[in-house]
Amino acid sequence: MTTNETSNGRSGDIRAAQADWEEKTLRPALERHGERDTEFETSIGPVERLYTPPDGDNGDYQRNIGYPGEYPFTRGVQPTMYRGRLWTTRQYAGFGSAQESNERFKFLLSQGQNGLSVAFDLPTQIGYDSDDPAAAAEVGQVGVAIDSLRDMETMFEGIPLDKVSTSMTINAPAPVLVAMYLAVAEKQGVPAGEVMGTAQNDVLKEYVARGTYIYPPRPSLRLAADLLAFCVRNATKFNPISVSGYHIRDAGSTSAQEIAFAFANAIEYIEACRTRGYSVDEIAPRISWIFNTHNNFFEEVAKYRALRRMWARLMRERFEAKDPKAWLLRTHVQTGGATLTAQQPENNIVRAAMQAMASILGGVQSLALSCYDEALAIPTENAQRIALRTQQIIAHETGVTDTIDPFAGSYFVEQLTDEIEQAAQELLDKVEDMGGAVSAIESGYMQQEIQEAAVRQQQEIEEGKRVVVGVNKFQNDEEQPQTIFRVNTEAGQAQIERLRRLRAERDGGAVRAALEQLRDTAKGEENLMPAILDAVKAYATLGEICGELREVFGEYRAPTAV
C-alpha cells in the first residue's frame, strides 16, 4: 500500500469518526446551548468549528513545509531562528527637531533597543521644506523635520552608522533622505559599503494606501529603482527598499490583499531593475519588507508562514532565481496602528502584546510595537518604554523563543496557511493579468479592493458583529482625560530659522550647479542617485531637490470620484 493510500484511508477513518461525533456528541450540545454566534471568520473567510488531521494535511511535507532555513522557508528563514538570535527591537520614533529626535534615539538605545526607526514629519514625506507655505502648521508634528544634510547630521550626532541600523519610513523622497544618510556616514568616516539600515522607498503603495506621493507613478517607480540599483552595488549592507504590506493592511485590506498587493509592487521594482541590466539574483536579496499584525491571532501567525512560502516559490519557480538568498523573505513588523483605540487607550497595551506574540510565533526578523497612546498623539517616552519592555518580556520570560515554528502541524494553522496563500495568489494573478502593479494602480483596481474591504470591516464594527472592546462593547460611562505628549508648537518657527541660516551660510553657486545637473539628469535615463548625492553634499535642501524633479516629472493628482 502506498503512502497516499495509507493517508487517504486514515483521512477517511477520521472523517467517519468526525461525522459520528457530530451526530452523537455535538448535535445534542448545540440543541441544548447553541453557540455564541452563527459565524466565525478571519479576514479571508469562515473559520470551521473543528479542524482535524485531514484539514492540516497539505500533501508533500518537504515541498510545502520543510525545515527552518531551507526552501520554502515556511518554518522560518534561519536554521536556529530565535534560539540563535532574537529579532531586532526597533521602536518607531521621531518628532519636532533633529536635536529632539537625536535625544529620543539615544534614550531608546540606552533602554536596550538595538535598532532605530525614524518617523518624518508630513512636509518631509512629501518633499517640502519647512518654510514652504504648504508646510504651515505641520512642521515637526507627526515626525522629525529634515530639510537638509545639516539636519541629518544633527539627528545622528553621536550615533555610529556602521554599528546602529536605522530604518527610515520615507517613500517619495527616499533617494534624497538616503543620500543625506550616506553623506552623514561619510562625514563620520564610515564608507557607504559599511552603512547599515533600511529605507522604505515603496512609493507604489502610496497611491493605494497612504497618500504621501509626489510624482506620477512611473517616474516615482524610476526613482525607487534608481535607489535600489545604486545601493546594490555601492551600499551593500543597506536595504534600499522595504516593500510595505503594512499600510495596505492599515488602510483596511484583508491579509490576502496585504500579501498580494505588496508582492505585486515588489515585482514592479524587480522588473524595473532588470531593465537596467540587473539580475534577479542581485536585486531580490536586497528587498526587505514591512508587514502589519492585526488582532486575529491565528490568522497573523499563518500569514507570515504563507508569505514566506509564496515568495520563495515566486522567486525560484517564476523568476528562476538561483541564489537561495533571493528566495528569502525577511520582514520587519509593526503592530497594527489602525487597531488602536482612543477610548480606554490602556487596552492598546494588551492589543500590541498579543499582536507582537503572533508576529514572533510567525517568525519575523524585526519588530516595533505601536504604542498605546498613538491614537491620541505622538507616543510619550513612557509609552515607548512599555512597548519595548513588552518585546523584552516576550523574548526572555515566555519561552516562545525556545523552539522553532511551534504552531507547525496545527490542523487549523496549516489549513489557514494554505488558504491565505491561495487567496493571495489568486489576487496576485489578477494584478499580473492587468499588466502589473502600476497598471492596476492606474486603473484604480487596488484602491477599490482595499476600500471595499475597509467598508465591510467598518460596517461590522458599527453593527456590532466585530467587537472592539471599549468602543462598541464594554464601554466606560466616564472616560478619564489622558495626559499625552504634544509637540512644541514653536518648533516650526525654530526649524525655519535654522533653514534660513543654512541658506545664508552655504555656497550658493555650488547649490545652483548641483541642482542644474540634477535637472538635466532627470530629463534623461541615467541613475539619479549620483546627482542627488552631489546636491545633498552641496547642502541643497529637500524642497529644492524635489522641486527640480517636480519641474521635470510633474505632480500626481489622484482621480476624483464622481
Residue with the bigger pLDDT between 348 and 381: it is 348
Amino acid found at 38: T
Per DSSP, the residues of 376-434 read TSSPPHHHHHHHHHHHHHHHHHS-TTSSS-TTTT-HHHHHHHHHHHHHHHHHHHHHHHT
pLDDT at 562 over 50: no
Contact 335, 370 (CB under 8 A): yes
Boundaries of domain holding 260: 68-75+170-178+193-462
The verdict on residue 216 lying in a domain is yes
Q: Count of domains in the chain?
A: 1
Give the span between the Cα atoms of 298 and 303, in whole angstroms: 8
pLDDT in tens, 489-538: 677 889 999 999 999 999 999 999 999 999 999 999 999 999 999 999 99
Task: Over range 166-191, report the average pLDDT.
Answer: 97
Contact 42, 416 (CB under 8 A): yes
Q: Among candidates 214, 192, 312, which has minimal Cα distance to 263?
A: 312
Task: Please tell me which of 89-93, 136-140, 210-214 the model is most confident about, judged by mean pLDDT.
Answer: 210-214
Q: How confident is the model at residue 136 (pLDDT cuts 50, 70, 90)?
A: confident
Q: Which strands form 115-119's sheet, in the order they lie side by side?
A: 92-93, 115-119, 165-169, 197-199, 238-239
pLDDT at 150 over 90: yes
The verdict on residue 129 lying in a domain is no
Q: What is the pLDDT of residue 438?
A: 95
Long-range interactions of 106-113: CB distance < 8 A, separation 24+: 106/158, 106/159, 107/381, 108/384, 108/388, 109/159, 109/164, 111/385, 111/388, 112/388, 112/392, 113/89, 113/388
Q: Name the phi and psi angles at 445, rounded to 5.
A: -65, -50
Q: What is the pLDDT of residue 401?
A: 96
The verdict on residue 437 lying in a domain is yes
Residue with the bigger pLDDT between 262 and 483: it is 262
Q: How does the average pLDDT of the chain come out, rounded?
A: 93
pLDDT at 482 over 80: no
The verdict on residue 139 lying in a domain is no
Domain CATH code at residue 329: 3.20.20.240
Residue showing cell 510633474: 554
First to last CA, the chain: 64
Beta carbons within 10 angstroms of residue 27's beta carbon: 11
Task: Please tell me which of 35-39, 314-318, 478-482 the model is most confident about, judged by mean pLDDT.
Answer: 314-318
The verdict on residue 330 lying in a domain is yes
Q: What is the pLDDT of residue 378?
A: 79
The verdict on residue 513 lying in a domain is no
Query: Which segment of 163-167, 222-226, 321-325 scores lowest on mean pLDDT?
Result: 163-167
Q: Tell me if the pTM is above 0.85.
A: yes
pLDDT in tens, 449-479: 999 999 999 999 999 999 999 999 999 877 6
The verdict on residue 222 lying in a domain is yes
The verdict on residue 135 lying in a domain is no
Q: Among candidates 88, 86, 143, which has minimal Cα distance to 113?
A: 88
pLDDT at 13 over 70: yes
